[in-house]
Amino acid sequence: MTAAVWNWSEIIPALPEVFLAVSAMVLLVLGACQKNGGLKLIGTLSVAALAVAMVLTLKADWTPVTVFSGQFLSDGFSSYMKILVLGGLIATIMLSMRYLVQENMGRFEYPVLILLAGVGMMIMLSANSFLSLYVGLELQSLSLYVLAAIRRDDAKSSEAGLKYFVLGALASGMLLFGISLVYGYVGAVGFDAVADTLAAATAEGTVAPGAIIGMVFILVAIAFKVSAVPFHMWTPDVYEGAPTSVTALFAIVPKVAAIGLLMRLLFDPFVSLMPDWQQVVWFLSAASMAWGGFAGIVQGNIKRLFAYSSIGNIGFALVGIVAGTADGVAASILYMTIYMIMTAGTFGIIMMMRRNGVAVERITDLAGLSKTHPACAYAMTALMFSMSGIPPLAGFFGKLVVFQALIASGFYVLAVLGLVSSVVAAYYYLRIIKVMFFDEAEAPLDRESAPMRTLVLTLSIIFIAGFVLVPETLMHTSQEAAAVLLPAND
């Protein structure tokens, strides 16, 4: 590799990241100069910065290009995933502004941290070597640790942040160890070089076991980030302990980035080890779907419930990766997109749950919602039906495409496991509907108007209900993104 001469044009493909990073720092300074109550301004500006980054990504040239000495890759896949991430971040900030004020945690650092996490995620998605991968992942993780513990005065929040941090550190350790193993046996950290070496070794049948073990370590670390079973243990505790707005963020965005990263790893550097990693992902997927389905049944706290729901959903997204085909990847991308939008809507409802000015989060608190807040109840019903995969809502199509891809690749056992789990999981989604419509309310929830949150919720409902009418657009886009990742299979 020849050392590239620095050239300002190299910065163009990374413009969205650079812009976002600079805005984050500017906003940090700006926020520090404000007297208390800078949240509204900083929040609005953050949304604007994210939106600009999104437009930059959209307008950028999507032909694959590597810059920064092969560290950074921008292509159609990364751009598509970045748009998802940025959209998710915008939605989260819009959802949480009102909540932050109500809960007295309206610090200006909050949106800035989200911006920084966003930069981390975008770097993860554009990583083209293990080094940039690690840097991006850590930037994202550190921001999220702080966010989880942002209510320093609250024991639960601090506990959540600490748990997340310690276990995350453990995962980071595994990641680094895995990277060093791979480097040791392959002799490279760049994705292209690793891919070439492994492909050659596979062809000769001389793949070093150490490289495979290294890959397993790396997979485990990513599995922690996407909270796949058995590396999910932090999820319920952190989801429950963190402030609801942060939980919404956790549920909506980082998983999309991590799944994108996982796809990049598996189909770029490790693509020639597919038979090996398929076994790992098969296991993670099956365990996550089953655990997410069964353990959710007995939950009483709605945030905890959605922790298990997210574990199960990650299992379904992994299903598409197990298939190992372009269709499978496209299905996974579509699944994550739909999941993200449904979750945004769901947390819109959860953040609305307040009684006498205090946030409540038990499922039974939703009782009688159909009488007191009929619009909310029907919106939630649509979301829950979609989550449990009932046609014609979007969630059904998400499940349909991943299982189609899986069946096409011949993984029948996993398909059956997945279908059984989705039936089990349907129990707790439907239970929420039952509580809202058939149980008697003790005291009605507060009425409040939060236009931004309502907007996100409305868009989410329109999406899940309208998807059936124009499914081609999104399916086509996700297939294009997947085709970038797997050009050979197309």
For residue 279, state whether it binds other proteins (rule: CB under 8 A): yes
From residue 287 to residue 326, what is the string marking binding to other proteins with x (rule CB under 8 A)?
A: ----x--xxxxx----------------------------
For residue 154, state whether it binds other proteins (rule: CB under 8 A): no
For 136, residues 6+ apart whose C-beta sits below 8 A from its C-beta are 120, 121, 122, 123, 124, 125, 126, 127
Least gap, CB of 222 to other proteins (angstroms): 12
Least gap, CB of 432 to other proteins (angstroms): 16
3-class secondary structure, 359: strand
For residue 233, state whether it binds other proteins (rule: CB under 8 A): yes
Hey, how many other C-beta atoms are within 10 angstroms of the C-beta on 131? 14
Residues 467, 397 contacting (CB under 8 angstroms):
yes
Listing DSSP states for 35-73 in one string gives -S--HHHHHHHHHHHHHHHHHHHHHS--S-EEETTTTEE
Measured from the CB atom, is 398 or 418 closer to other proteins? 418
The residue from 80, 99, 231, 429 that contacts other proteins (CB under 8 A) is 231
DSSP label of 271: G
Least gap, CB of 237 to other proteins (angstroms): 6
Q: Which two tokens stand for residue 63?
A: 């032909």
Q: Which stretch binds other proteins (CB under 8 A): 191-199, 272-280, 384-392, 442-450?
A: 272-280
Angle among Cα 321, 89, 385 to the nearest 5 degrees reads 60
Residues 289, 417 contacting (CB under 8 angstroms):
yes
For residue 167, state whether it binds other proteins (rule: CB under 8 A): yes
Signed CA dihedral, 378, 343, 390, 338: sign only: positive
Listing DSSP states for 186-202 in one string gives H---BHHHHHHHHHHHH
Measured from the CB atom, is 347 or 428 closer to other proteins? 428
For residue 68, state whether it binds other proteins (rule: CB under 8 A): no
Least gap, CB of 220 to other proteins (angstroms): 5
Least gap, CB of 191 to other proteins (angstroms): 21
Q: Which two tokens stand for residue 4?
A: 């590239």
Report the site for other proteins in 178-217 (rule: CB under 8 A).
Answer: 209, 212-213, 216-217
The residue from 69, 427, 431, 446 that contacts other proteins (CB under 8 A) is 427
Interface residue list for other proteins (CB under 8 A):
162-163, 166-167, 170-171, 174, 209, 212-213, 216-217, 219-220, 224, 230-231, 233-234, 236-237, 276, 279-280, 283, 291, 294-298, 424, 427
